Structure 1
């Protein structure tokens, strides 16, 4: 395996698990708790779900319920989670997804949570210990399940606290309409038995072999499970929906559905959360369709697991600012107490958007995502008179082009080294891609927000998969990765509808679903944007024929892809000071 992509191999393990790494919890004892670990919840539509319920003994008053909905069934973990909630003054419940643990039905991830979670809430409010109010919390799949429940918002659901929440069809198994191999084995992991198939999930050698054999073969993406040797019916079902169509839209709120979500929400995610595009899509759409939404965000230098516990002192080689380290579970129950018990709002939530500035060791608090810094600066993807490609703040009067050529047949080179296996790198791969560098900053400047903008290009094919990576080049010459974008050009304007590019015609390709970040840049630092085509073993290969990408083979590649990138293309960034 090419060493620069080692991090993606690690990602296959981490994302596939979709678990919640939290502080250690202790199991309840029968002397002080009422424990029901084999509850069966029969729905009025013929499905049976299972749950664990824990209450403190000696409490006669009806209480609100703290609910987690879990696909990674583990009775001891569920008991520990429910005990923690009981210790905080709630009835603690962990419900298992359809087909998991004691449920006799078949597991069918993603497809029924909008209905099944609400069936659990229906059951809760009929219990003698319930005061009729439910708050939900949890990470990744459990975060998704909370948003799924809001598609048909139950009147008893009073708040949700989703961490690193996934959106099926947007974050994984595909990101911006590109199917990724990072969680190929996830379906086996959660559907092979009533708990989790850790043996198959942890067989990294098998998944690396599968990826590399598929890559070298040039076979269609829909043949990858044949190369593995085990049918993957869930993958086949998912890749039959390459657009974000009605299949995916049915799973979580979509469009006007967000206008009806009138409960308070606390979202938590991280700059290096692999599924961050999903977590923040919920927030963007909620505010888009309900501007008055009471939706708070906490985001900092965390990865997928770190956001669920509150960070770690060192993250992928980066020494995290001390102020960034929080306790996610404690923050969660402070929020639940605020909403369900009338206590003060958690101190960290001074405004709607709360984010830590890496390198400054401070939290900032602003009312909206477009106000994270005082100014927005546009950098054009240009070429200087000396021939160097640069990030320029001046739009040239004359349009010129930078040519890139990519042989889609070639299997000796990987294109688009975007995954931050290490946040700080001594060097980066410069064998392919186009590198646009800014002038050095003559003062300290903080840069925050998304990597957004518009690409302008003329290509000789009908489609391409584009990658951009944003770095800080430090005064010492190291590369600090800030953000990246990965997306399919034909879905750039509408992820639910493919619009093929016209060969030889100037095309406009907007992008915005990238990674949010915040970083204090020191005097002497520069910004670097790497523009590239995505071509490697870790995702579908888009050969540009215009066919369904999952059905394209290397035989569809034809002539090398040739792109003429216009110097009218740009990236927008939010900065604290424009006088640099």
Structure 2
């Protein structure tokens, strides 16, 4: 099961790009692919501009800012020109014609603003700029808003990445499947497809590290190639000022008073960061004009309108959207005073799986009119632990023992592939079942909760996965979270646990989903310690997790999971309960 997790996760984070001859756009277009823009600190940013020739008026500009240099970029800029805009593609410093060192994330916000400033001063520009793009290109849009240039009028981030939030770590846990990404984007001025596609090399590296018991900080030594970018990131295991300086943070969001359209997916690996921006934007600017479109999409599907088959699940045809058309309709709405895209009936526009229709809400909170609240009971029914709605006695707990020296057993099979399955891993961890639901309802949003636990060590990494178990005996993967206990109170500062002291751990942001549940279905919660080859191993010694080795695993981890632990699931009922 965990091997399938690795393969699926790696494939979702990598994509093959065959370099072909650059397309010839024809005599109708003016192309300048040798633009160099000087930044305030003396760096050069390489960019490409495409526009229709013989235009009599200045036009708004559509900007994409990316670390990915591809031959097809010209065709993307042609699309902007064909829609009545000037198209500009700018690359992270060090990429394409830039002679500076390649440094992902750190300078993109400032450099994007330098590009926007340059655009606003060109004779072909009317002074208005819109940005769009997905993943890394979604991150760069938010980076550009940290110090908002007056010429930037709107952004359209798809599945936006968040450095320090989703990659290279998620909830302060460094994860492995995108390890090769640093080489992919930094080995040359374009992209190193050969290294990115060498999955056998990086699969071997992960399992060699897993079986070796060596420190996570030495994983590139096991690979045999230094990874200086990873080593730099490992110096920042907290969401500290290093990461905070890359994108808007807290009150920075209050200054982002431009319209925003976000597009995301329930099964997008980076959904945590993508929706972080929406949550923070509307928290610090409650009247923000921020719209969301979200449905049963993966990381790449959300960027291209969806996939007919997603993690072996058939996606209804009416869930598929024309992402590019919606994007340009949005630009016309903001930059040319056209009508708003038809799909945007309200701020939150979401597809309900199972019901198979679109719904709309004024806010994320407004998606639900109630909640299911379950405690992780120690009692059993039909040999299964119960999710119960009554608060159990404080003294009740279940004990889990984890031997990190045992490398024959992996814990925490949480990845949603396939989404629908006949059985789930029951070899370890704790699994809880609710009573059958007494009515139809829609799970609508991200689950929350608190885990009450005590451990014999100073820290632990754990995960929770939610499933629907339907009347056919099928498990439908709803959502999951992985978390590091020592960062539960504050993502920017580590607070180690006191051994044997009962601690309440507030769950971080979990993955949002919308799924209709039928009467008779059950909710299943799978709780486990994270121990596998696909992420850091937290042995609980209290040292920096990147420095822990198998020598720190001489004492087994013993966890007492208290029955006061609670999971809250937002739901939409046809008739709200009082």
- The TM-score normalised by the length of structure 1 is 0.96
Alpha-carbon distance, 1:27 to partner: 4.9
1:290 aligns with 2:288: no
1:223 paired residue number: 218
2:159 paired residue number: 164
User: Which string of whole-angstrom CA distances, capped at 9 and with x for unpartnered residues, describes residues 523-542 of structure 1?
Assistant: 22111010000000000000
Say which of 509, 513, 516 aligns to 1:513. Answer: 509
1:271 aligns with 2:269: no
1:11 paired residue number: 9
CA distance in 2, matches of 1:17, 1:107: 21
2:34 paired residue number: 38
Any idea what SS the aligned residue of 2:72 has?
A: helix
CA distance in 2, matches of 1:95, 1:416: 40
Alpha-carbon distance, 1:398 to partner: 4.8
1:496 aligns with 2:489: no
1:86 aligns with 2:84: no
CA distance in 2, matches of 1:216, 1:399: 38
1:23 paired residue number: none
CA distance in 2, matches of 1:378, 1:339: 41
Say which of 401, 411, 416 aligns to 2:412. Answer: 416
Any idea what SS the aligned residue of 1:442 has?
A: coil
Alpha-carbon distance, 1:442 to partner: 3.2
CA distance in 1, matches of 2:283, 2:205: 41
Alpha-carbon distance, 1:29 to partner: 2.5
1:428 aligns with 2:428: no
User: Which string of whole-angstrom CA distances, capped at 9 and with x for unpartnered residues, describes residues 257-304 of structure 1?
Assistant: 111111111111100000000001111111111111111111100000
User: Which string of whole-angstrom CA distances, capped at 9 and with x for unpartnered residues, describes residues 305-353 of structure 1?
Assistant: 0000110111111111222100111111111111111111111111111
CA distance in 2, matches of 1:7, 1:404: 23
Alpha-carbon distance, 1:9 to partner: 2.6
Moved over 3 A (4+): 16-19, 385-388
Q: CA 1:8–1:436 in 2, change beyond 3 Å: closer, same or farther? A: same
1:556 aligns with 2:552: yes
Say which of 177, 188, 196 aligns to 1:193. Answer: 188
1:22 paired residue number: none
Say which of 233, 239, 246 aligns to 2:228. Answer: 233
CA distance in 2, matches of 1:522, 1:452: 22
Contact in 2 for aligned 1:13/1:201 (Cα 8 Å): no
CA distance in 2, matches of 1:183, 1:317: 22
Matches within 5 A, 1:93-492: 93-384=88-379, 386=381, 388-492=384-488
CA distance in 1, matches of 2:406, 2:564: 30
Alpha-carbon distance, 1:373 to partner: 1.9
User: Which string of whole-angstrom CA distances, capped at 9 and with x for unpartnered residues, describes residues 188-235 of structure 1?
Assistant: 000000000010111011001100000001100001011111111111
2:50 paired residue number: 54
CA distance in 2, matches of 1:158, 1:399: 56
Structure 1: unaligned runs, 5 residues or longer: 20-25
Contact in 1 for aligned 2:380/2:386 (Cα 8 Å): no
CA distance in 2, matches of 1:458, 1:274: 30
Any idea what SS the aligned residue of 1:384 has?
A: strand
CA distance in 1, matches of 2:95, 2:238: 29
Contact in 2 for aligned 1:18/1:141 (Cα 8 Å): no
Alpha-carbon distance, 1:522 to partner: 2.0
User: Which string of whole-angstrom CA distances, capped at 9 and with x for unpartnered residues, describes residues 425-447 of structure 1?
Assistant: 12111000100111112332211
Any idea what SS the aligned residue of 2:447 has?
A: strand
CA distance in 1, matches of 2:455, 2:182: 36
Any idea what SS the aligned residue of 2:221 has?
A: helix
User: Which string of whole-angstrom CA distances, capped at 9 and with x for unpartnered residues, describes residues 143-162 of structure 1?
Assistant: 00000000110000000000
CA distance in 1, matches of 2:370, 2:217: 45
Contact in 1 for aligned 2:458/2:497 (Cα 8 Å): yes
CA distance in 2, matches of 1:372, 1:124: 39
Between the two proteins, the alignment pairs up a number of residues equal to 571
Contact in 1 for aligned 2:447/2:570 (Cα 8 Å): no
- The TM-score normalised by the length of structure 2 is 0.96
User: Which string of whole-angstrom CA distances, capped at 9 and with x for unpartnered residues, describes residues 69-88 of structure 1?
Assistant: 121101x3111111001111
Alpha-carbon distance, 1:451 to partner: 2.1
User: Which string of whole-angstrom CA distances, capped at 9 and with x for unpartnered residues, describes residues 47-76 of structure 1?
Assistant: 1111111111232111000000121101x3
CA distance in 1, matches of 2:324, 2:98: 28
CA distance in 2, matches of 1:296, 1:385: 44
CA distance in 1, matches of 2:15, 2:237: 23
